[in-house]
Amino acid sequence: MTVDGSRVNSQQSTVNSQQSTVNSQQSTVNSQPKLVNFRF
């Protein structure tokens, strides 16, 4: 049970890390249209 719980926590940590990366990329995508509009 302890080993399984450890594996689940490790996978959850990986998922959270990937989600953080996705949020960071989404933030970059959201900022790009503003820069493009600012140029025009």
pLDDT of residue 27: 86
pLDDT of residue 8: 87
- For 1-40, what is each residue's pLDDT tens digit? 567 888 889 999 999 999 999 888 888 888 776 656 666 5
pLDDT of residue 36: 60
State phi, psi for 24 to the nearest 5 degrees.
-65, -45
Q: Where are the domains of the chain?
A: 1-40
